[in-house]
Amino acid sequence: MKLAVVGVTGLVGGMMNKVLEEFQFPFDEYLPVASEKSVGKQIEFKGKEYRVLSMDEAISQKPDIAIFSAGGQTSLEWAPKFAEVGCFVIDNSSAWRMDPTKKLIVPEINANQITSDDKIIANPNCSTIQMVMALWPLHKAFQIKRLVISTYQSFTGTGVKAVKQYDSERRGVQQDKEEMAYHYPIFANCIPQCDVFVEHNYTKEEMKLVNETQKIMNDGGIKITATAVRVPVDGGHSESVNVEFSKPYSLEDVYTLLNSAPGITVLDDVNAHIYPMPLFAKDKNDVFVGRIRRDLSIENGLNLWIVADNLRKGAATNAVQIAQYLVAQNLV
């Protein structure tokens, strides 16, 4: 088993290594890969020192699995080259998610779609993953008709540049405009723009919630609208999700379904002030759900508050779970 981590020196790449070690993922050879400027550097993984390899060096060694977290353009160029040598690529960028020939996988929902022919497998967007984890068991039972979503997303979702911006602002250090990840300060601020604006004045992040949810749930009939906001939280995305079902439901059934769903932890006791928060979700792999209550304004309406560590289940954990599935099904 040859395992490559592409983009290993980035924020998510570092978390990939951490999760791989925690999950005791089985491998015989480990290939850390990064851009040309990082090639030759030494990184530590599981107590050993490794030299960072170039893309071509890694491909020449024909890895069995490559977990990519190196950006969309890099993935579009290099993922097919890894796939050509028989490697399964698990890609964390947006490059392949809406490609109709590629599977968009959350293991707890649709890992059984993966076949030996799926050499490039897409990891969904962080905000999508945590939401569909909570919604999937409810959709199967009551059929979701419409979703209204508001997200409160950590600056860590933007990457290293945003982390540096936040830290500089927190310390009162002046930055040049080109060093900033955002148009505005993120410290002590909320920015109602995640990613770039596209048609109808929605952002890319908002449309990912629409398109990816429909694809993962295999239901293009679900009506979805979203507003995504970047907040000064160091790790962890939160989402307020208003659901309208086609079928009537009981709150007891909702609790039962969520409590029995893999990867979900229900935290919901308002009398004791217990509800999910990013501070609590940080460094945990589960998705946390709380503030569960009926929407009194519409028939079959429900409100949920969904929180997860965006670098964990929203990225690294989900990707490693896909790799685990490949191994468990003897696809590699």
Q: What is the pLDDT of residues 271-327, one digit of tens each?
A: 999 999 999 999 999 999 999 999 999 999 999 999 999 999 999 999 999 999 999
**Mean of all residue pLDDT scores within the chain:** 97
Query: If we measure between CA atoms, which residue out of 67, 74, 230, 82 comes closest to residue 153?
Result: 230
Answer for the pair 328, 65: CB distance below 8 angstroms, yes or no: no
**What are the pLDDT digits (tens) for 79-100?**
999 999 999 999 999 999 999 9
Global model pTM greater than 0.75: yes
> Residue 128: pLDDT band by 50, 70, 90 thresholds?
very high
Q: Indicate which residue of 87, 190, 237, 273 is catalytic.
A: 237
3-state secondary structure of 139: helix
Rg (the chain; Cα; Å):
20
Active site includes 139? no
**What are the pLDDT digits (tens) for 153-177?**
999 999 999 999 999 999 999 999 9
Task: Check residue 63 and give its pLDDT.
Answer: 98
Query: If we measure between CA atoms, which residue out of 317, 329, 318, 328 comes closest to residue 19?
Result: 317
3-state secondary structure of 320: helix
Integer Cα distance of 4 and 202 in angstroms:
35
Active site includes 190? no
The domain locations on the chain are 2-124+315-328, 127-310
Torsions phi, psi of 289, nearest 5?
Answer: -125, 135
Torsions phi, psi of 90, nearest 5?
Answer: -105, 110
Helices (H), 49-125: 55-60, 72-84, 107-110
Q: Indicate which residue of 87, 126, 139, 194 is catalytic.
A: 126
Residue range 2-124+315-328, CATH number? 3.40.50.720
Answer for the pair 11, 312: CB distance below 8 angstroms, yes or no: no
What are the beta bridge partners of residue 88? 65
Assigned token pair, 301: 């309406």
Integer Cα distance of 313 and 291 in angstroms:
21
Alpha-carbon distances, residue 178 vs 7, 174, 322 (angstroms): 22, 12, 36
Q: Class for domain 127-310, per CATH?
A: alpha beta
3-state secondary structure of 329: coil
User: With pLDDT > 90 as the criterion, what percentage of the chain qualifies?
Assistant: 98
**What are the pLDDT digits (tens) for 279-288?**
999 999 999 9
Mode of pairing for the β-strands spanning 65-68 and 2-6: parallel
**What are the pLDDT digits (tens) for 207-260?**
999 999 999 999 999 999 999 999 999 999 999 999 999 999 999 999 999 999
